Structures are given as C-alpha cells and as structure tokens.
Structure 1
C-alpha cells in the first residue's frame, strides 16, 4: 500500500465515510488523523497491538491494556488515552525504560500515540510540575490539534492545584514565538474550560490572570485570539464587571483589529443578554 497517497487527504466528515484503507493505516499508527472525525474513529485496542510491540512493551502489559480498553464503563477517546498513559506510567515509571519509552511515544508518527506520552509524564508523582512542563513543551507545540488538546487536559489538574506557580510560569510562555505555546498559556487554565473541572479561584478572581492576558490582548494569531476571548467569556459568567472594564480599557489602549476581535468574543455572553 502506498501510504503517500493518503497523506494529503481532506478527511471524511462521518466515521462511516472513512475508507477501510485509511482506517487500517490509522489503527496501525502509520499515518496521522487529519480531523476530529478520524481522531474519534481510532480503535485504540488495535493501535496499541500494532504499535507497542515495536516499542518493546511487554506482551502481558499490552494484553492488559487491551482488556482494560475493551471493558471500560464509560468509553470515550479521551478516557482511553488517559487509561493507556496511566497504565504505561504504572508499569514503567520506576524503571530505566521510562525515559526511552517517553521519547519513543512523544516522537511517534501517530498523533494518538503521542497523546499517550502526555499522560505518561503528567501523572508522574515525583516529577515537579516545572520539569513536567519543560519535558512536555514539544508536545505543547505539536503540529496536531489532538495532541495539543490532550496536553493541557493532562496537565490542568496539577496546574490548577499550583495556580500561583502556573500563572508565573505561563506568563513567560505567553511571550513565546510559537503560537501553540502562547495559546496553551490561556487555554490550559480557562476558568470554566471544556471537558474538565472548573477552576473556582479564577472564576472568583479572574484578575489573577492579567499577567498573561495583558500580553496577548492584541496577539496576531487567531488561534490565540480565540483562546483569550474564550478565557474572558468564561470569566464574564461570574465576574461580568471585570470583563467589561478590562475590554473597555483594551479598546482604548490597543485599537487594533486583533483586540477588537478578542473583545467581541469575550463579551458575547454579556451582549446576548
């Protein structure tokens, strides 16, 4: 099979429209997914059976993974990815195979396999948060949307726990030349977020996040603008006056089309009332 033929595909909009050839390559870890439909269609039991033996993973561990994947009470792609990362962490965290395994997972061609690497590190009990962030930075900047979403979800619980440190750390990442890293600095700790627990401290006192928000108020990347606008829209649901006042000041201080777009997105819930 000529894999190159499939690399520039548009991607099906429905799971049933994904060709057998493409699905076979995805489940073998031979190509990346190109959209959410494909990402959700991956059969992770097939993927781990195809990929993990090539990484030197013990056969018994693979069988245990497949069993757990197939016997979930609430199966979902996100739960499966966390399950796989968690079990690999459990089996390899305290061995000399841990770092080589992370390297192989985090650089694998398959975006889904790279997602496993996120939890392999994020769940590590004895690694300081700062070291986790630095180790996972290449995945924060990954070219694939799926990896970028999984990475902030994997790190968010611990970052929320150590909020002061996280805000200080991310204020530096907000100045990165890489828009994916800048976007992570807001998306990872949205007050309400998506598919994750809310952060009460930021819902109640969103002004804590100004060291990051101020640096991005006129960012030139729409990917970042959307995240900043969504962050403030989250905050507007508990602290509407804070968001109104901030947006008004930004409009005066930064009369750019980028800031105008962010402000409109930030105020969308308040203006709809």
Structure 2
C-alpha cells in the first residue's frame, strides 16, 4: 500500500473504532508511526511481530514468541510491549554476538515507534551497571516519539529507585543536556509517585535528595520540562508539603522568571486544593 502525504500528516482519531483501516494496517505492518495515544494503544503487537521479525532475521523465533504472547493475552498496550521486549531479549541472547548487535540496532532504529518501544524494554534483562544501562536507554529517552520516551523512563525506573543517590548523581549530568527530552527524562524517571509505576519511597520521604536536578531545572525554558518539574514537586507535596512550600518560596525569591512561576503553580496545586476544601 502506498503511504500518502495524507496518512503521514494525519492528526489521528480520538477513538480506536474511528482509525481508518489503511492506517491501522500500516501501523500493524510497522510501516508508520502512531501519532497519538489512541493509535499507540490500538497497535496489535502480535500482528506487528508477524511483520517485523521475518524482516530482521528472526522468523525462526516467531512461533515461540507468538505462543507466549497469546498465552498471556498480550496483544496491545503496555503489557504487550513489556512482554515482547522481554522475549525478544531472551531469543536475541541466543544469537551470535554480531547478529545480536545487528538485530538490536534494527529494532532500535525501526520506523515503527512500537518496535522502538520493544527495543527500550529489552533493557530489562541486561546485567550491566547503572551507567551502562542508562547509556543504552539514552537514545530512547531522546526519541522523537512521545511513546518511546515514556517507555524509556518506565523501563529503567525500578533500577534507578534501587540507589537514588547514585541515580541522582548520574541524572544530574542529563539535566544539563541541550536536549529538552533528556532534561525532562532526568526528573520524570524519578518522580516520587510517577504514573503507572511504583512509588519511590526514598523520595517521598526525602525529596531533598533530588535537589541537584531540581535546582538545574527550576527555570527551564521548555514547557515539557517545566511540567515534569512541577509534577515532581506536586508528588512530593503529598508527603512533604512544608518542604515543597519552602522550596517554592526560595525559588520565587531567587528566580524571577515566567518558567519558575509556572513550575511553582503546578507544584502547589495539591496544597492549594487542600487548603480550599
């Protein structure tokens, strides 16, 4: 099927049932990226596997992976991505070293954002240092697609939570990046409460551990980053409201910028809501 400009420049349906048949087919073939969350959730990863694995030299592993996916009723969404990544890592591990590298590179640079999501979750079974695993995740954290970026921080969050002091030390360098996606990752990946993930108790109780990153981003020019910093502090306010209020007061006095004001507004929204009830 010819991929037209109309398909490439589409805005995306708001309901899965409204996704045009040709768009859904191309998504499941791995020939185009999803353009919104509705399309991202609509991708059938079993169909996608059938189209992608033979093309990258893993046709001999296809039936095995498909049977596992069917057994666990994982066709779409987060569960399908996570399980596909885990099984791909296991089968790729059995290949020769050069073929492992070649396949991983093809998956990591695939046109389909869903396939790149698989590659990001393949990290989970890597027995490497935190520094090496962050290096692996870095291109996914900087990916052009929102879905891949979200999967990137979700994939490594549990490991980051195991040693918050070390994680903050490493991610402080990411917070200095010229790339707003990398700066955003540096704080989003360690939100005290996060979204769709386990809480990080150490940061719920001692949010000050993340100050090296927070201070670097307190006046970030990117609204994408500002939202994450504001949400991070709003998370912290649910267990340490006085600490958040104190920090916001400090920032309002030392950083007279629209960016900081916007972050503070987001940071205090739960506190303000509680005071008005």
Same fold (TM over 0.5): yes
Alpha-carbon distance between aligned partners in 2 of 1:76 and 1:204, rounded to the nearest angstrom: 36
Alpha-carbon distance between aligned partners in 1 of 2:73 and 2:52, rounded to the nearest angstrom: 25
- Residue 135 of structure 1 deviates from its aligned partner by 2.3
- Residue 271 of structure 1 deviates from its aligned partner by 0.2
The farther-off stretch of 74-83 and 206-215 is 74-83
Match of 1:124 in 2: 126
Point out where structure 2 has 5 or more consecutive residues left out of the alignment: none
Aligned partners of 1:93 and 1:124 also within 8 Å: no
Match of 2:160 in 1: 159
Aligned partners of 1:226 and 1:265 also within 8 Å: yes
* Shift >3 Å, 4+ stretches: 73-76
- Residue 113 of structure 1 deviates from its aligned partner by 0.1
Match of 2:114 in 1: 112
- Residue 73 of structure 1 deviates from its aligned partner by 5.6
Aligned partners of 2:44 and 2:75 also within 8 Å: no
Aligned partners of 2:45 and 2:75 also within 8 Å: no
The farther-off stretch of 93-102 and 153-162 is 93-102
Match of 1:148 in 2: 149
- Residue 51 of structure 1 deviates from its aligned partner by 0.7
Alpha-carbon distance between aligned partners in 1 of 2:137 and 2:93, rounded to the nearest angstrom: 16
Structure 2 counterparts to residues 188-227 of structure 1, below 5 A: 188-227=189-228
Match of 2:42 in 1: 41
Number of aligned positions between the proteins: 271
What root-mean-square deviation, in Å, do the aligned CA atoms of Structure 1 and Structure 2 show? 1.3
Alpha-carbon distance between aligned partners in 1 of 2:124 and 2:251, rounded to the nearest angstrom: 35
- Residue 3 of structure 1 deviates from its aligned partner by 0.5
Point out where structure 1 has 5 or more consecutive residues left out of the alignment: none
- Residue 202 of structure 1 deviates from its aligned partner by 0.3
Match of 2:78 in 1: 78
Alpha-carbon distance between aligned partners in 1 of 2:93 and 2:230, rounded to the nearest angstrom: 38
Alpha-carbon distance between aligned partners in 2 of 1:236 and 1:76, rounded to the nearest angstrom: 34
Deviations 1:196-237 (A, max 9, x none): 100000000000000000000000000000000000000000
- Residue 71 of structure 1 deviates from its aligned partner by 2.5
Aligned partners of 2:44 and 2:76 also within 8 Å: no
Instruction: Give the 3 Å change call, closer, same or farther, for CA 109–76 of structure 1 in structure 2.
Output: closer
Aligned partners of 2:45 and 2:76 also within 8 Å: no
Deviations 1:80-122 (A, max 9, x none): 1110110111122254132222101000000000001112123
Alpha-carbon distance between aligned partners in 2 of 1:15 and 1:100, rounded to the nearest angstrom: 34
Aligned partners of 2:46 and 2:75 also within 8 Å: no
So what's the TM-score if we normalise by structure 1?
A: 0.96
Instruction: Give the 3 Å change call, closer, same or farther, for CA 208–118 of structure 1 in structure 2.
Output: same
Alpha-carbon distance between aligned partners in 2 of 1:75 and 1:48, rounded to the nearest angstrom: 10
1:219 counterpart SS class:
coil
Deviations 1:153-182 (A, max 9, x none): 100111111222110000010010000000
- Residue 58 of structure 1 deviates from its aligned partner by 3.7
Aligned partners of 2:86 and 2:124 also within 8 Å: no
Alpha-carbon distance between aligned partners in 1 of 2:109 and 2:131, rounded to the nearest angstrom: 21
Alpha-carbon distance between aligned partners in 1 of 2:2 and 2:74, rounded to the nearest angstrom: 37
